[in-house]
Amino acid sequence: MTERPKIALWFRYGPAEHTELFHAMPQIIAALAEHCEVHYYGLRTTASTPDTIRANAVLHFLPWHVDRTRTRDKFIKTALWLFCLPAIALDCRRRGVRAVYIDETIPFTALLARLFFGRAVAITVADFFADIYFTGIAASIGRVIRAIDLWSWKRLPLIFTRAFTTRAFLARHGINPARVHPVYDPCDLSIYRPLPVEERAAARHQFGYSPDDVVLVHHGILHPNKGNDLIIRALAEMRSEFPQLHFLLVGDGPEMDRLRHLVHELNMTDVCTLTGWLPTLTDVCRALNAGDIGLVMRTGAESDDFHMTGALVHAMACGLPILAARLGGVSEVVAEDRNGLLFAPTDMAEFQSQLARFIREPDLRTRCGQVAAEDAKIYFDVQRVTAATVQPLLRLVGIDAAPS
């Protein structure tokens, strides 16, 4: 009997967190396992590994747990992960792994994988960490990191992106677009969905909102590039004209303390609710359903064009009309007056104007929300994302399997 080819997936947070961030991962691993022996490398987490992944992959955990809710812990464990990648790559070579897929964009990972594993490496290019964390006087360091990563990516046979805009960016930097496969983020529509009227009313009541209130809602990790401080300041200028307006901000991160201070400084505690991390994805869905408008915001850095963003995907799946920064990837899905409204990320006057339009036109909100929910079923379908990911990976290991 011929031994099946082996493929390895690397992801620093491990399979439970991977599945939470990319809902199709269990299905991707199961589909790969039909043709390959799948090895999965990552850090330990307190969450349990999904049964589908446990049944279809050989799991290799580093001995550390990571807590994504604690910024310091996340950075320390990411550094440890990078330090261990050469050993992981050599272990893959020892086991006879044919190809490696790294589904994240941590600096230097492609370089390390190429140096210590070999040529058959695939990576997802989405977050440019250097753009987020190396700003101001440290921006030059970020540019060096990006240059090294671009040099490494040019030598990869397969790159996934989360937007077509990213493929165009990579092509401008000399990367063969034929090697780049845009695949949108998937969404488990059994988790993120429009709730029945009674459940939605209960969710609003939970947060203290009346039927007449208009709630702008956003969720995600509170990084500096999310621009929530700009949003809070813009809302403070609108409160006298629109006293029914509220902002529900779900999530946590390095910006939380600064945002809480800003809310108090502007006397916006009755307008802004900052929940921190919610216990489960079901709780996040309830919070989104408590809102009337889904906010998608970034500050407008070049790499902000490369995201589809969980905030967008989940808000659309929950049937919310979208108020989104006019960014490359986001604009591939959000169409003006169809499923949402757009504004320039650096133009808070345009943000205020578009938000005011949504507040004044409830019928527009309803129409855009209904279309957004239908679009989510098309753009973020788990089966479609699975097929679009698995087929290139199988070709990378030398298997030309017909789509299932």
Which pLDDT tens digit goes with each residue over 145-183? 889 999 999 999 999 999 999 999 999 999 999 999 999
Contacts of 197 (CB under 8 A, 6+ apart): none
Confidence of residue 115 (pLDDT cuts 50, 70, 90): very high
Main-chain phi, psi angles of 114, to 5 degrees: -65, -45
Q: What is the mean pLDDT of residues 96-125?
A: 96
- What pLDDT was estimated at residue 350? 98
Going across the sheet that includes 37-44, the strands are 57-65, 37-44, 6-10, 97-102, 121-125, 158-161, 180-182
Residue 128 has pLDDT above 70, yes or no: yes
Residue 209 has pLDDT above 70, yes or no: yes
All domains of the chain, ordered by start, with CATH? Answer: 6-186+381-396 (3.40.50.2000), 197-379 (3.40.50.2000)
Rg (CA), the chain: 21
The pair of three-digit structure tokens given for residue 120, joined into one six-digit string: 């058959």
Contacts of 12 (CB under 8 A, 6+ apart): 42, 43, 66, 77, 78, 81, 104, 106
Residue 3 has pLDDT above 60, yes or no: yes
| Nearest to 18, CA basis, from 38, 39, 40, 35 | 40
Confidence of residue 1 (pLDDT cuts 50, 70, 90): very low
- What pLDDT was estimated at residue 129? 72
Distance CA 20, CA 220 (A): 12
Residue 110 has pLDDT above 80, yes or no: yes
Give 42: exposed, middle or buried? Use CB within 10 Å, 0-12, 13-18, 19+.
Answer: buried
Asked whether 42 and 57 are in contact (CB, 8 A), the reply is no
What percent of the chain stands above pLDDT 90?
A: 84
25, 201, 276, 282, 284 from 279: Cα distances, Å: 21, 20, 10, 8, 8
Asked whether 52 and 386 are in contact (CB, 8 A), the reply is no
Query: Which of 18-32, 100-114, 118-132, 222-236 bottoms out in mean pLDDT, i.e. has the lowest?
Result: 118-132
Distance CA 321, CA 291 (A): 10
The pair of three-digit structure tokens given for residue 148, joined into one six-digit string: 């090294």
Residue 221 has pLDDT above 60, yes or no: yes
Asked whether 124 and 104 are in contact (CB, 8 A), the reply is yes
What percent of the chain stands above pLDDT 70?
A: 97
Confidence of residue 68 (pLDDT cuts 50, 70, 90): confident
- What pLDDT was estimated at residue 75? 85
Mean pLDDT, the chain, integer: 94
Category of 353 on φ-ψ map: left (φ > 0), alpha (ψ -120 to 50) or beta: alpha
Residue 137 has pLDDT above 80, yes or no: no
The pTM assigned to this predicted structure is: 0.91
Name the 3-class secondary structure at 227: coil
Mutual orientation of helices 362-379 and 348-360 as an angle, nearest 10°? Answer: 110
Distance CA 217, CA 288 (A): 6
- What pLDDT was estimated at residue 403? 52
Contacts of 142 (CB under 8 A, 6+ apart): 130, 131, 133, 134, 135
